[in-house]
Amino acid sequence: MCGIVGYIGKRNAYPILIKGLHRLEYRGYDSAGVALINAQGQLNIYKAKGKVAELEAYASDKDTTGTIGIAHTRWATHGEPNTVNAHPHYSESERLAIIHNGIIENYAVLKAGLQKEGYSFKSETDTEVLIQLIEYTQVNKHVDLRTAVQLALQQVIGAYAIAVLDKDHPDTLIAARKGSPLVVGVGQEEYFIASDATPIVEYTDKVIYIEDEEVVKLSTKGQSTKGQSTKGQSTKGQSTKDEGIEITTINNVQKTPEIKRLELSLSQLEKGGYPHFMLKEIFEQPRTLADSMRGRVNVRQDNIALSGFIDNKERFMNAKRIIITACGTSWHAGLIAMYAIEEFAQIPVEVEYSSEFRYRKPVINRDDVVIAISQSGETADTLAAIQLAKEKGAFIFSICNVIGASIPRLSNSGCYTHVGPEIGVASTKAFTAQVVALTMLALCIGKEKGTMSEEQYLHVVRALGQIPDKIECVLSQNKRIADFAKTFTYAQNFIYLGRGYNYPVALEGALKLKEISYIHAEGYPAAEMKHGPIALISQEMPVVVVAPRCGTYEKVVSNIQEIKARNGRVIAIVTEGDKMVSKIADYVIEVPETEECLTPLLTVIPLQLLAYHIAVVKGCDVDQPRNLAKSVTVE
Ligand code: F6R
């Protein structure tokens, strides 16, 4: 939510910042802005409403020189998305500039105090309050910029990743974080800061992950990179010997910077010939799932080894209950896991929206295992939910994609999904990898507890190994799905139905359609249709039914007949060779046969493609749908 990027070094900062903003645009794109200090010591700020391209157009005839700068792409929280509320913000004297990702919760109190001191505010943002507070502190306490930032942040309640410039000190950039991510890139006599490593990767593979309540001072004065080496390994515990980087806490305790080696390649951040990241990510799934299983499902496909489970077996064996907490698509993956864990491990599972769980005074016991699922690892509600569960003594296991993110760092143990960066705002490859990781976990617990037979275990493990190839088969129907997607762009509403393991798939299919095509869609357990939604069925209402040949298949076929009897139009996802549904549905997409618990990994693929193609035909911005941001770091 909001992306921040900064540069200090010898190069012209502007092109680096603009490229960085494009990489971070998935985090928010309501407005964008940049601040640069030029060689004459002027602090220039340029801002534009809308995407980074609007900012580029606006700044095209302006002075964009300067070897130090900060830039921001915004997802609006306080104040509507317009140029005034866009970041960076000047301080009262226009000597300082700030960019901010997060929310200052006590901004109203701080603002009132500053107004009494004669400070005026141009924007409605909480961020402007912070830069005024920093300037007020600097002026009244006669301290340097870093100290002023430290003292100001001591008064702040909320979350922040900030970067601050001072035009009187063009050789220094100050940044800090609490609750919002911040990475420093360490180059040769140059430094980068960003919300994640994507703007940094083409310049350096040396990064420092800033911790909560740390303040980093980057300076080119007296900077030397001599003696610095990180080849191959993280330099955990070693000083960087780089006089250009100083890290302290907001209480001015000195910290030793730890340079880590970045595991990210540039090609992962590019579309690779696809028109959209979302389509690229849908097509990547055979490979990403193979990556998720690599080293975990053994070559003979008869065993699963999850180190996060092996090291903490006792916690799982003693668990009386498993609570799964997540948001959005990750919550849907959690719902699928509930079916798998209860079936294989016979441990009761509760699946909770993190936002509800954290506020409803839940009963959490010391022998509960809490599984947090998050692609980004930064979702504010999920982070708060596990904080609460941890305080109550529960064991926290997280399923995450972004390595080193806040949620895995706070967890006792976990499992990374290893699908690489997911850039399309609508989650696709992260979802299937979460389902794979959770299924592997369910199998590990079931085997260890002896609650599933050896035969069943082997069947599922082998079937899991075959999933990447089977997804290839589903993807080969892309053209056909694209063709019939055109038929449905008229629709104002869609219903998605599924049962058992495929009920969460119906929810996920509906969410995908809503978020990228802006068509209203609802997912239901198929049998619930009769209890209300059937009233909506008419010729105008497309109904997507997920009906693989397993579990309650016959009952779902009856539901399809009920829809057809009311002239609804049915798009059915069925198992290869299905005869019954093919006769009655209007459109049929076949998926290969697999174990029931793994069917979501196949049935969700046509739903991702259907949503994608409908959105494309409608001319929607698939990768950056309106009002959304990839990583929801605010409540
Ligand atoms: C939907 C989507 C969101 C996320 C949700 C949780 O396509 O991407 O619903 O799933 O915001 O995000 P993470 O998984 O990063 O915690």
Order across the sheet with 172-178: list the strands.
89-90, 96-104, 158-166, 172-178, 214-219, 245-249, 254-255
Mutate to test the pocket of ligand 1, among 327, 335, 620 (most ligand atoms within 8 A of CB): 327
Residue by residue, what is the 3-state secondary structure of 334-383? HHHHHHHHHHHHCCCEEEEEHHHHCCCCCCCCCCEEEEEEECCCCCHHHH
Could you identify the atom of ligand 1 that is nearest to the CA of residue 426? 7
User: 56 - beta bridge partners?
Assistant: none
Task: Kindly give the distance from the C-alpha atom of residue 303 to the centroid of ligand 1, in angstroms, as a whole number.
Answer: 30
- Quick one: pLDDT at residue 547? 96
Does the Cβ of 329 fall within 6 Å of ligand 1? yes
List Cβ neighbours of 390 (8 Å cut-off, separation of 6 or more): 396, 410, 412
- What is residue 392's three-state secondary structure? coil
Does the Cβ of 195 fall within 6 Å of ligand 1? no
Task: Kindly give the distance from the C-alpha atom of residue 562 to the centroid of ligand 1, in angstroms, as a whole number.
Answer: 33
Task: Kindly give the distance from the C-alpha atom of residue 372 to the centroid of ligand 1, in angstroms, as a whole number.
Answer: 12
Q: Does residue 517 contact residue 620 with C-beta atoms inside 8 Å? A: yes
Residue-wise pLDDT tens digits, 13-34: 999 999 999 999 888 788 999 9
Choose the catalytic residue: 51, 280, 470, 630.
630
Cα distance between residue 123 and residue 109, in whole Å: 16
Does the Cβ of 426 fall within 6 Å of ligand 1? yes
Closest CA to 630 of 20, 31, 28, 180: 28
Task: Kindly give the distance from the C-alpha atom of residue 374 to the centroid of ligand 1, in angstroms, as a whole number.
Answer: 7
Task: Kindly give the distance from the C-alpha atom of residue 300 to the centroid of ligand 1, in angstroms, as a whole number.
Answer: 34
Q: Does residue 5 contact residue 194 with C-beta atoms inside 8 Å? A: yes
- Quick one: pLDDT at residue 350? 97
Could you identify the atom of ligand 1 that is nearest to the CA of residue 428? 7
Does the Cβ of 137 fall within 6 Å of ligand 1? no
Does the Cβ of 355 fall within 6 Å of ligand 1? no
Cα distance between residue 229 and residue 260, in whole Å: 10
Nearest alpha carbon, ligand 1 atom 3: 328
Does the Cβ of 401 fall within 6 Å of ligand 1? no
Based on the residue annotation, tell me whether 444 is a catalytic residue of this protein. Answer: no
Cα distance between residue 554 and residue 310, in whole Å: 39
Based on the residue annotation, tell me whether 2 is a catalytic residue of this protein. Answer: yes
Task: Kindly give the distance from the C-alpha atom of residue 194 to the centroid of ligand 1, in angstroms, as a whole number.
Answer: 21
- Quick one: pLDDT at residue 501? 97
Nearest alpha carbon, ligand 1 atom 16: 374
pTM of the model: 0.84
- Across the 635 residues of the chain, what is the mean pLDDT of every consecutive 10-residue run? 93 97 87 96 96 95 97 82 91 96 92 95 93 97 97 94 96 94 94 94 94 95 47 39 87 94 84 93 96 86 88 94 97 98 97 92 93 94 94 96 90 94 94 98 96 94 95 97 91 94 98 96 92 86 94 90 91 95 94 97 98 96 82 70
Q: How many CB atoms lie within 10 A of CB 91?
A: 23
Does the Cβ of 343 fall within 6 Å of ligand 1? no
Does the Cβ of 328 fall within 6 Å of ligand 1? yes
Order across the sheet with 520-525: list the strands.
520-525, 493-498, 542-547, 569-575, 587-591
Does the Cβ of 632 fall within 6 Å of ligand 1? yes
Does the Cβ of 376 fall within 6 Å of ligand 1? yes
Residue-wise pLDDT tens digits, 393-429: 999 999 999 988 889 999 999 999 999 999 999 999 9
Tell me the backbone φ, ψ of residue 504, rounded to 5 degrees.
-60, -30
DSSP state of 211: P
Does the Cβ of 1 fall within 6 Å of ligand 1? no
Choose the catalytic residue: 2, 415, 444, 550.
2
Task: Kindly give the distance from the C-alpha atom of residue 412 to the centroid of ligand 1, in angstroms, as a whole number.
Answer: 22
